[in-house]
Structure 1
Amino acid sequence: MDFHGFRKIEPLGELKTAPFVEKYAGNPVLSGKDIPYSAALVFNCSVWKEDDTYTMVFRNDYFYSGELVEQHPDDTNFGIAHSDDGINWEVAPEPIFEYKTEDVGRVYDPRVIKIEGRYYLTCCASTTGTTEDRAPHGPRAAIFVTDDFKNFELVDMSLPCSRNSLLFPEKINGKYYRLERPFWGDCIDSFSNETDHWIGQPFNTWVTSSPDLVHWGQAQPLIMVDDMPYANIKNGPGAPPIKTDKGWLLLIHGVDYDPARGKNGWEDKWKHRYHAGVALLDLEDPTKLIGLGQAPLICPDLPYETDGGFRNNVVFPMAGIVEDDGMVKIYYGAADAHICLATAKLDDLLAACDPV
């Protein structure tokens, strides 16, 4: 039902993790207690594997005091860790990256994609406004490049308002492609949590292309919330695309809102729930959606996902590693507080992408 461009939110009820997904019994695999410097919330991360070594770049929200308190952390940096098995991690003694300018207060949610021998890091830049009386612009999609994870060069920063950007790991027909999710909710009151539970139009996943990673255009919508039974308010990219014989496999997230949820975390109100899902794009034309899971892949249903976190009821997929035996390691942020691991067969993930 629509009313002057607004839509009534209908709660979705109970949702369950897919039966072919197994969550690691030792979760979480990384938390703030594992970090050798000030760390409060260690969650959304990028993971890749080269020469039998796993590397993780993770988001670390921290307090200047170093003490853990139930309020919004003071700042964010990125840390790096390595592993021989993708489960046990050795964290470097210092963070590797923190970015600030007159207009950017912090960057967060790192995704690392290796393209043509160089490592590109996409993340969200939180703008501050350029003067005390100038309001923030909203989130911007940023791209940095590095060869050594010590020196980072800014490649491009998008117009507001864009979040969850990630790059495809190779050029396709001579172009670079990027997934992102417009998010003007940080700029204007585009949805209401208080007024009879009506919202404006939901936030959907879009795709853009570029000849040089700087000039982006040809934007078009790709995955719509209305086509996802387990989302009612927004969706977005998750892990960098995985190239398969069937197409580009995407690990995505879908979000539903329910006014009955109450507090659910450190904030006074947190009524959202985040799930992981799957989608499939055409190999030669990544603007073409050819498969979309009609049920969630991973749902928040265990204590480290539903209790004691900064924002409970959150599963946010950020990385997928295909192993030689056809199993996929899926790394996800849990309750905006921990990094967790789940596994599934690649064939099962592909089969879950219903044709569209």
Structure 2
Amino acid sequence: MITVKKKGIILEKTNLDFENGGVLNPAVIKEGNSVHLFYRAVSKGNFSSIGYCELDGPVLVKERRTTAFLSSEYSYESQGLEDPRLVKIEDTYFLTYTAYNGVNALGALALSSDLIHFKKQGIIVPQITYQEFIRLTEHGAESKTRCLVYNEHNRIFHSDTAGVYLWDKNLIFFPRKINDKLCFLHRIKPDIQIIVEVNDLKELTYEFWQHYFLNIDESIVLSPKYKHESSYIGGGCPPIETAFGWLIIYHGVQDSEHGYIYSACAALLDLKNPRNEIARLPYALFKPDQEWELKGEVNNVCFPTGTSLFDDTLYIYYGAADERIAVASISISELLKELMNIHNEK
């Protein structure tokens, strides 16, 4: 078992209007000794924007904005910006988030060259109705059945109403091009899908996504496997490049008599072809067991969304009970050794 040190809460909600309902699920990037957090800020009434704070080192809050950093501007995000992630690819910062308009929850992108000014690019995941999804995946019955079961929000999965789409969340870019291609993870429950072979974001056309869904089984990189992730899994932190492969810290969900339990999980993917799983932990990396994780807006939640690496110590930032931001630390070399031992035992 990996030694996990829970450092506790580093950020809580305030009385400010934009974050008086909760703070959670931060995008994280380290620059020098500073760690930048772009976090989901929730106002009362469940309207989300993105807040910002800077840490001095891995845990000490140095600066925190008193207004939202990014907020709703367009119809596709009219009810909020949720659960951001952040990577730097070459000279550009890619900030992804879930855009929610009251009906659809879909992955959107904003770009920046300086971490200050971000230009929104809109939704980049497929905008596809449930009926169209059924049609395109008719030859992949297993994938179709799994996705329909887990994506029945408000029982509208059968609807062919214009503008009602399959939910597509947890949009996360790899922090560099792979084989000269942009690559990102996204999640249609209960699996994590992966897109490779995209030279330019302009390729993500309606026709591209039609072809993608016709062959969706080829794009599934992780599916639920163990008890702690038996209900569904989803992307967590941006992939971390190591000598052994891409280290993925993701979330796994288990249904229990106390409701869903969200845990942090870990896997290792092949560097050249991240569709190939090298190994994954057969147990949760860490799960809710502290008061701040067990009780909150949503009970029993550890939802990892960002990391920072200081020497051998990997700090994992996560939403705790959908109300506050906490951090845990592990030895990255210990985790990689454990994953490679699992791989070698296959």
TM range (shorter): 0.7 to 0.9
Alignment correspondent of 2:41? 60
Q: Which moved more, 1:330-339 or 1:87-96?
A: 87-96
State the aligned residue count: 288
Paired letter, 1:319? G
Q: 1:50 aligns with which of 8, 31, 54?
A: 31
Q: 1:95 aligns with which of 68, 90, 113?
A: 68
CA contact (8 A) 1:127 1:140 kept: no
Looking at structure 1, the residues matched to 179 and 29 of structure 2 have their Cα atoms a distance apart, in angstroms, of 24
Q: 1:228 aligns with which of 226, 229, 234?
A: 226
Looking at structure 1, the residues matched to 193 and 237 of structure 2 have their Cα atoms a distance apart, in angstroms, of 15
In structure 1, stretches of 5+ residues that fail to align are: 1-17, 64-72, 129-135, 184-202, 262-270
Looking at structure 2, the residues matched to 140 and 257 of structure 1 have their Cα atoms a distance apart, in angstroms, of 24
Alignment correspondent of 2:155? none
SS at match of 2:325: strand
Looking at structure 1, the residues matched to 195 and 88 of structure 2 have their Cα atoms a distance apart, in angstroms, of 19
Give the superposition deviation at 1:93: 2.6
Q: Which moved more, 1:138-147 or 1:96-105?
A: 96-105
Alignment correspondent of 2:142? none
SS at match of 2:83: strand
| Residues 208/86 of structure 1: CA separation in 2 closer, same or farther (3 Å cut) | same
Q: Which moved more, 1:294-303 or 1:110-119?
A: 110-119
Q: List aligned pairs for 1:152-167, cutoff 5 A.
A: 152-154=119-121, 156-159=123-126, 160-167=166-173
Which has a greater percent of helix? 2
**Residue 320 of structure 1 pairs with residue 287 of structure 2:** no
Q: Deviations over 1:40-71 (max 9, x none)?
A: 210100111112211110000012xxxxxxxx
| Residues 352/252 of structure 1: CA separation in 2 closer, same or farther (3 Å cut) | farther
Give the superposition deviation at 1:88: 1.8
CA contact (8 A) 2:76 2:99 kept: no
Instruction: Give me the identity figure in percent.
Output: 27
SS at match of 1:32: coil
Q: 1:291 aligns with which of 276, 279, 294?
A: 279
Alignment correspondent of 1:180? 186
Paired letter, 1:88? L
Q: List aligned pairs for 1:167-316, cutoff 5 A.
A: 167-183=173-189, 203-209=190-196, 210-216=198-204, 219=216, 220-225=219-224, 227-258=225-256, 260-261=257-258, 271-307=259-295, 309-316=296-303
Q: 2:58 aligns with which of 86, 107, 113?
A: 86
Q: 2:3 aligns with which of 20, 23, 39?
A: 20
Q: 2:99 aligns with which of 100, 112, 125?
A: 125
SS at match of 2:336: helix
Looking at structure 2, the residues matched to 126 and 103 of structure 1 have their Cα atoms a distance apart, in angstroms, of 6
SS at match of 2:201: coil
Q: Deviations over 1:131-155 (max 9, x none)?
A: xxxxx3x321111112343342215
Alignment correspondent of 1:200? none
Paired letter, 2:317? Y
Paired letter, 1:142? A
Looking at structure 1, the residues matched to 298 and 221 of structure 2 have their Cα atoms a distance apart, in angstroms, of 27
Give the superposition deviation at 1:344: 0.4
Looking at structure 1, the residues matched to 118 and 95 of structure 2 have their Cα atoms a distance apart, in angstroms, of 12
Alignment correspondent of 1:345? 331
Give the superposition deviation at 1:81: 0.7
CA contact (8 A) 1:107 1:124 kept: yes
Looking at structure 1, the residues matched to 186 and 18 of structure 2 have their Cα atoms a distance apart, in angstroms, of 31
**Residue 110 of structure 1 pairs with residue 84 of structure 2:** yes
Paired letter, 1:126? Y
TM-score, normalization: structure 2?
Answer: 0.79
Looking at structure 1, the residues matched to 76 and 122 of structure 2 have their Cα atoms a distance apart, in angstroms, of 16
TM-score, normalization: structure 1?
Answer: 0.76
CA contact (8 A) 1:247 1:282 kept: yes
CA contact (8 A) 1:156 1:214 kept: no
Looking at structure 1, the residues matched to 237 and 202 of structure 2 have their Cα atoms a distance apart, in angstroms, of 21
SS at match of 2:300: coil
Alignment correspondent of 1:194? none
Q: Deviations over 1:207-247 (max 9, x none)?
A: 1122113434655111111x223122110110000000000
CA contact (8 A) 1:36 1:91 kept: no
Looking at structure 2, the residues matched to 287 and 54 of structure 1 have their Cα atoms a distance apart, in angstroms, of 30
Paired letter, 2:307? G
Give the superposition deviation at 1:34: 8.4
Looking at structure 2, the residues matched to 316 and 214 of structure 1 have their Cα atoms a distance apart, in angstroms, of 31
Q: Deviations over 1:103-147 (max 9, x none)?
A: 43222000011111111111111134xxxxxxx3x3211111123
CA contact (8 A) 2:87 2:173 kept: yes
CA contact (8 A) 2:2 2:335 kept: no
Q: List aligned pairs for 1:32-43, cutoff 5 A.
A: 32-33=13-14, 38-43=19-24
Looking at structure 2, the residues matched to 52 and 30 of structure 1 have their Cα atoms a distance apart, in angstroms, of 19
Q: 1:139 aligns with which of 91, 98, 105?
A: 105
Give the superposition deviation at 1:37: 5.6
Looking at structure 1, the residues matched to 110 and 18 of structure 2 have their Cα atoms a distance apart, in angstroms, of 24
